[in-house]
Structure 1
Amino acid sequence: MISVARNGAHRFSKEVVEAIIILEGLGVVGDAHAGITVKHRSRVKADPTQPNLRQVHLIHAELFDEVAAKGFSVAPADLGENITTQGIDLLALPRGTVLAVGESVRLEVTGLRNPCAQIEAFQPGLLSAVLDKAADGTLIRKSGIMSIVLAGGMVQAGDAIRVELPAPPFLPLERV
């Protein structure tokens, strides 16, 4: 993992910090998206009682290189992620994968982040750069994955992440 971030307000980007504390069933301490029920403003408006499947947001740093080749400048936490990874194909993980982070944190992958207009407001044209089309015409969302917290603890840049796949059949990630 190359960085960790949080933000107590509902701002698009987060602030890179030295370490974050993650609480079981809630998310990142001091982050606006932590909680048992959904905190994403548009989802709260639709149904504030739905479970929070977006407690911790992870993005792969390789995305930054990909969009840089298209003329964009994106750094860790700019797109609102709590954890920036490197060397893990997050988008290829099946739903239910557990990510063992650092000494004690365990995150269960719930689905894909659905990139929204805030990405376009951050840098015009970036929204289309984090979307793609598969050969069959389906939309590929590249702006990271979401997870819930099974076990908490402290994590910091440099901590290892171990991938624990669920039992087959593997379910593809869908937007959450």
Structure 2
Amino acid sequence: MMTGRLAGIARHARSRGPIEVIDHVSVSLKGGLAGDFRGAVRPGGKGKRQVSLIEAGDWAAAMAELGADLHWSVRRANLLVEGLDLPQTAGAVLAIGRDVRLEITVECDPCSRMEEIAPGLKAVLTPDWRGGALARVLSGGDIAVGDEIRIEE
């Protein structure tokens, strides 16, 4: 079984709001990461964008290509994954820690906001899912930096 570790957690309470980097968080089916505005499932919604993940290696490669040294949280992703290639297939399931299960739903395409942060950032995040993946919560619980991440399906 392939495993990695949770290297970072970030959330933002509102659209375009400041990013808060934290070391642990509760995750729920209805709300995603506690305190993150994107996690709430709207009435009739499917929760396809509850949690965003990015690989530490992909971020490092993007920074090298850009010639920059920006903190990963400017990507506005919720979870930084280290030592594991995220599945690039909708339906793949990730387990984090003891209880949390996430289902990959779609690639997290970098938006124009990335260009506001640094010219060229959107372009270096575009190839090969380098901008990360989006997921829905299948089972909630508490997660913390350092927790093991596994691909289950």
| Pair 1:62–1:13, CA change in 2 (3 A) | farther
Gaps of 5+ in 1: 38-47, 133-139, 166-176
Residue 57 of structure 2 corresponds to which residue in structure 1? 62
Q: CA deviation at 1:125?
A: 0.9
Shift of 1:69: 1.5
1:96 equivalent to 2:61? Answer no
Please state whether the residue corresponding to 2:74 is helix, strand or coil.
coil
Deviations 1:70-115 (A, max 9, x none): 202232322111110011111x432111111011101011110111
Give the alignment partner of residue 147 of structure 2, picking from 131, 151, 159: 159
Q: Judging changes above 3 Å, is the alpha-carbon distance between structure 1 residues 29 and 155 closer, same or farther for their aligned structure 2 residues?
A: same
Give the partner amino acid of 1:80: R
Aligned residues: 147
Find the residue that maps to 2:110 and give its secondary structure: coil
| 8 A Cα contact 2:88 2:129, kept in partner | no
Contact 1:67–1:73 (CA under 8 A) maintained in structure 2: no
- Structure showing greater radius of gyration is 1
- Pick 1 or 2: higher relative contact order, CA cutoff 8 A, min separation 6: 2
Give the conservation status (yes or no) of the 8 Å contact 1:60–1:89: yes
TM-score w.r.t. structure 1 length?
Answer: 0.77
Q: Which runs of 5+ in 2 are unaligned?
A: 1-5
Q: Distance in 1 between matches of 2:68 and 2:17?
A: 17
Q: Which runs of 4+ in 1 moved over 3 A?
A: none
Q: 1:118 to 1:49 in 2, by over 3 A?
A: farther
**Identity %, equivalent residues:** 32
CA offsets 1:35-87 (integer angstroms, 9 cap, x no match): 112xxxxxxxxxx8543201010000112211222202232322111110011
**Of Structure 1 and Structure 2, which has the larger fraction of its residues in helix?**
2
Contact 1:12 1:79 in 2 (8 A): no
CA contact (8 A) 1:6 1:15 kept: yes
Q: Which has the higher strand share?
A: 2
Deviation for aligned residue 1:13: 6.0
**Residues 129 and 93 of structure 1: is their aligned pair in 2 closer, same or farther, counting only changes over 3 Å?**
closer
TM-score, normalization by structure 2: 0.88
**Aligned residue number for residue 14 of structure 2:** 9
Cα pair 1:112 1:146 within 8 Å, conserved:
yes
Query: RMSD across aligned C-alpha pairs, in angstroms?
Result: 1.7
| In 2: Cα distance, 1:4 partner to 1:25 partner | 19
Q: How does 1:1-176 map to 2 (within 5 A)?
A: 1-11=6-16, 14-37=19-42, 50-70=45-65, 71-90=67-86, 92-132=87-127, 140-165=128-153
